[in-house]
Structures are given as structure tokens and as C-alpha cells.
Amino acid sequence: MNKSKAYTGIDVFRLIAAFLVVAIHTSPFTTYSETGDFILTRIAARVAVPFFLMTSGFFLISRYACDNGRLVRFLKKMTIIYGISIVVCLPLNLYNGYFGMEHFLPNLIKDLVFDGTLYHLWYLPASILGGAIAWMLVRKLGMGKAFVAAVILYCVGLFGDSYYGVIEGNTFLCQAYDCLFEVSDYTRNGIFLAPVFFVMGGMLADRKAERKHRGNFGPWAAASFVFFLLMLGEAMLLHHFDLQRHDSMYIFLLPCMYCLFQALLFFRGSRIVQLRSISLVVYIVHPIMIVGVRLAARVLGMWELLVENSLIHYLAVAILSAVFSVVFVWAAALCRKKVLPRFVPSLRVDESMAAFGSGNTDRSWIEVDLEHLRNNVKVLKRAMPEGCELMAVVKAEGYGHGAYEMAACVNRIGVRAFGVATIDEGIALRKYGIVGEILILGYVNPARAKELSRYRLTATLISYEHAMLLDRQGYRIKAHLKVDTGMHRLGFGADETERIAEAFSLKHVKVEGIYTHLCVADSLEESDIAFSKQQIDRFYKLLGRLEERGITIPKTHMQSSYGLWNYPELSCDYVRAGIALYGALSSAKDSTKLELDLQPVLSLKSRVVLLREIKMGESVGYGRTFVADRDSRIAIVPIGYGDGFPRNLSGGKSSVLIRGQRVPVVGRICMDQLAVDVTDIGEVQLGDVATFIGEDGEEQILAAEVADDAESITNELMSRMGRRLKVVARP
């Protein structure tokens, strides 16, 4: 892993948090100061479990995490760890008579779901339950509302924990909490405590793309210290007035943890994976080590030193737990490397198979460079007039780049307006967690007005009749009004002033924008420039007539990518950037008035899966269109027109980069594969990457070049890349 991408601060603090948990259960300062021990174990150490929960949320919860598989994998992993922990701690359960308690079965169910079968294991069911609740809240409500809901749950928990004394005089509330305590012994559990920290971790994950551009460690560390002092004062006051039923939940714990975690994220370096495993083992086994130290103290006659001296007792337990954990993790790693392959040979992967790749890159794939995408956003924003906002057009799966990857990336860095073609594309963005305005640029069936309202989507009013039908549905809908200034596609006629004015006064549909589309903005021919200026003039004259009728003009836009490139002087509220956002021209032959340093985001890649030696006179592919005029070496690559690589590029009309050199595609392109002549480039091996669009060494094939060869445009080429191509994002 790239060192700059690893969160070393999180890895290191995992171990610190584990030993803080050990301190909670051994009370290191009891021998010397009851107050000091209270501050350490009941205040300072209370950051440990929230930190673990936030760490899980950081890697799990995000408003952009639309794959439910992530949640399933997390829950499965935590359930397995919980099950192992229960088994490991069984001897202690037997020792303390756990299985002889009254009403064993209902108590066992309660412990399994909420409290843990041993006092420290409550964190594991809390993670399972809290993670699921947080995920559901973020999916249903979005990050902001999910945080509010989680804080409400936390506040309910507060009055069953540190603030219990506040409600003791209220009979109704006491009875309500007594009912809660019948189900769970504490409110510091997966319902009331855990969700808010999961959501906070997710909030910080959403901001990580912005973090490298602003802020630093110092202010966040200082803020966490200030909030810790406030939490210290809060806890001491609650303790002084004896208001606490338990002492895990404080008001100032929330801002303290947010700032602390934020500060830790600035520590970047090599990943220390072992610390994660060691800290987990320390957490699980330290109660066994407590019993072990006590047993050793009795046998050795050192009870006064090893047990009654609380600090020595803590150090003995901590050291013993650490040593056991390090040995266990080392032994487990050794077992995986040496023992497991010997006894389970079927799990071994032959090195020759590794050449074919793994995961998303085992056949053919689209690779998107998110750093290039972020660069393009900055470049476009700098080129736009002051006060103008970028609208990222992500229709047709983000022009083939992956709507999720594109929208989530630019949303993280501040883009708050998106353009899509259909209502279903808009709904998908909302389900991905995208915030801001989502404008549907195409037709929306009025029968789907309820969905427009529910998902807070903005419709395009394409005609007077369409606007009336939408309004009659009775749902509050946001809309932009499309004006036909000469393209004669969608939109009100530019001379339909009265009807447009009427659309502004609809009861349920609120017009928040008005726009047109320049149909020859990509051309610098004099006649086309004249036509574009005519369109612009018609649009502004319409706005003037609307103003004369007392209508406040909403947000305006008419520039697409080429509109910005060739008419940068236009002053509008939005620029609808599509192909420019992805760093490409529609055609390699295009020239533009404004030249911007945009970088291509998409690469199209596959792999060599078979090599064939072809004799002179032998043919390759359908129709025998390629007949070798020499002994040749042919590479078979698993990509075809079913993946969006055009069939009319057959017969040597296209080339591909392998090992940094251009080689021709030969024969007819099939639906799922094609052939490449690699005779002239030396040693080609199975698994070599074949680049159809993108860079390899010093060579580059631009999407516009491929589109021109296919007698098409880049927009069509990239949009037609099949859904079966996986999208691999490079951060």
C-alpha cells in the first residue's frame, strides 16, 4: 500500500485503546488515589470503545457506501469474532458460576444480544447492532439526519447512564428505564451508544478526500484536549452530585471523540496491520490474564505485590496480555504462511495464474483516475465566471466512467449540482448518498411525480402540457424550465412567453431554474457561431420579457462543455460539464476557443489470455478477413463490442498498447474478444495488460482518437461501454 494512504494514527491508537480497556478492568491508581483512578478509568479511558466504534464506522459507514455487501461482510466478521470470544471466555464463565444463574435462558439471550457473556464482551454485540442501525439510518435519512437520529438515541442513553439521577424523581421515566434495564443491564449498548459513533466515523470518511487540501493536526488536537477537559469537568460534577448510574456516556464525549479521531487521521505512514490484530487479542484475553495474575500471585505468595498494588497489577496484566497477543498473532501468521498450504494444497494459487490478475481486473475493465477527475473540477471552476457553479453531468453511468465513482468523488470535494438523463439515474444517485441538486435533463413521466418529491429530484419542464400534468399530480416538485431556442428538441418555444410565465405560477411545481441548450457550440465555423449567438440572444430576450412581467428570474444555464470552451464569457449560474469533466474532447479534430489543462479520467484495459502461433496463409476470426502474410504471433484479448469496443474498428482500423508499444487489432472484433498481432514487439506473456484507451509507458491512445477511427464521437464511445465492465478507481 502507498505509505501516504495508510492511517498509521488509527493503527497505533488501537493498541492504546486496548490498554485503556485493560485499565478500566484493573483500576491502576486505586492504591494511590481514588480520584486519580476515577479520572483515568471512568473518564479518560471512556474514549477507548467509542474509538473502536468510530474506526469501524470510518471504514464501513459512508453516505456513498451503496453496497450492502460491505455491511454483510462486517456483520459476518464481527459475529465470528464474537463467537470465538465467547468460546475463549467459557472457562471464566464456568469459574464464576455463570451457567448456574436463575432464569438462565432469558438472561443468556439478553447477554448474547446486548451485554456480552462476560463483562467486557458487550462491545462486540454493540458493534453488530450499532453498525446495522447506523447503516440503516444513513441509507434511509442521509448522513446529516442520520447523525441527528443517532444523537437522539445517545441522549436517551445518557439518562440511563451518567445522567440517571436527573430523572430519578420522575416516576414515568423511571418506569420506562426500568423496562429498558430488563432487556439490557445498561444503555451503553448497540442501540443507544454505538450508532452515533459509527455515524461520526462515516462522516469523517466522507470528508477524507478534502482533508489533504486543508487543515492540520494542531487545531484538532487542541480542540480534542479542550473537549476532554470539558468532559472531565462534566464527569466530576456528575460524580460529585452522585447522578451516575453508570459512567460510559457523557455529553462532551461526542465532540471530544470527533476531534481526537480527526487529529489521528493526520498521522499517515506505513500500515501496521499487526497492531489491529494484537489490540483485538488484548481486548479479548485480558480478563483471562487478570485471573492468571491472581492465580500466580496466590501460588507464589505475592498477592500483596501483584494484586493489592493496583499499578503493579495493571502492568502485570497488560504485559502478560501483550506478550500472549504478540505470540498468538505471530504464530497465526506463521501458520497461514507455512502450515496451511501444506495441509490444504487446494488453497494455493499457482504463480502462473496470478498473471491473469484478480478481483475486478481478471478480464477487462474500466480504470478511472480520481486524481485527474479532481484536477478537472478545479480547472473548470477556475475557467467559469465568478458566481457560476459547476453542474457535473453524470448521465449514462457518468459517460461510461461509473456514475457512483464520478458523483461520489466530486460530491466529496464540494460539487453540489448534478445532471442526469432519467429519473432512475437520479434515484440511484440519491441512494448512493449524493447530496445537492440533481436535475433530470430529460423527460419524466408525470405519473412518477411522487418519486420526484420523495428523492428531492429536480424535473425539467419540457413543454406547457408537461408542466400542467406534473402540477396536477399534487406533489411539491422542484423544476427547471427548458427553452427551445433553435435546437427544436425539448423545451417551451422561446416565443411562448405567456405560457412560460404561467408555468412560474403553478401551485405544486416550483420553477427554480431556466435553461437552454446550444446545439452547435462545438463548432467554430462562422455560420455556427452566428447560430449560437442567435440562440443566446433569444434566451436573454425571453428573460427580459419575463422580468417585465414581474417574474424573478431563477438560476440560468446554457453552457455545456463546449459552451464553456467556446463561449466562456457567458454569465450564467451553472455550467453543465459532461465530456469536459472527464478530460476529453468529443473528437480529436475539435479545436476550442478556450484551452484548459484537463486530464483524461478513463482508461480501457484488458489482458492477454492466450497466445497463438499462426503460419503464413492461415486466417484469424470470423469471415477469414485476416490472413497472415507471414508467420505471426497472435494475442487473444477478452474484450469485444459487447463491452462497447466498436465492431467497425475491425480489420486493422484500431490499435492497442501492450508493453508500451502499439500493435494492430486484426480480424473481426467479436462480441466478447478480439485478436491482436504482437509479432513485432518481442516477448509477450499471458496476463500482460492491453490498453485500448489510456497510457502505457510513453505511448498514449486517447478516447477521441478511438472515436474518430470508429466514425463516432467520444461521448458515444464511452457511454456504450457495457455494464459488464467493472470500474476500478485509482484514488
Cell of 731: 484514488
What is the enclosing helix (H) or strand (E) of 674? strand 674-677
Helix and strand numbers, DSSP H then E, in the chain: 29, 21
Report the relative pairing of strands 619-620 and 626-627 from DSSP bridges.
antiparallel
Cell of 34: 481514588
Is 378 catalytic? The answer is no
Q: Considering 250, 395, 478, 482, which one is annotated as catalytic? A: 395
CA distance 399 to 703: 12
Provide the 8-state DSSP code for 339: I
Residue length, the chain?
A: 731
Q: Could you give the angle at which helices 253-264 and 217-240 cross, rounded to 10 degrees? A: 150
Alpha helices of 159-212 — where are they, by DSSP H?
164-167, 171-183, 194-211
CA distance 591 to 583: 14
What is the enclosing helix (H) or strand (E) of 518? none
Question: Facing residues of 696 across strands?
Answer: 699
CA distance 664 to 635: 11
CA distance 258 to 261: 5
Residue written as cell 442521509?
Answer: 142
- Do residues 703 and 715 lie in contact, with contact meaning Cβ atoms separated by under 8 Å? no
CA distance 727 to 368: 7
CA distance 476 to 702: 45
Helix, strand, coil percentages (3-state) for the chain, rounded to 5, are 55, 15, 35
Which residue in 367, 440, 385, 426 sits closest to 559, CA to CA?
385
Which residue in 674, 648, 673, 647 sits closest to 663, CA to CA?
674
Is 395 catalytic? The answer is yes
CA distance 432 to 726: 17
- Do residues 264 and 7 lie in contact, with contact meaning Cβ atoms separated by under 8 Å? yes
Neighbours of 228 (CB within 10 A): 20
CA distance 515 to 559: 9
CA distance 366 to 606: 9
CA distance 42 to 300: 32
CA distance 109 to 182: 12
Alpha-carbon separation of residue 516 from 485, 572, 578, 585 (angstroms): 7, 11, 15, 21
Question: Facing residues of 636 across strands?
Answer: 610, 675
Alpha-carbon separation of residue 331 from 91, 339, 595 (angstroms): 22, 10, 60
Residues annotated as part of the active site: 395, 622
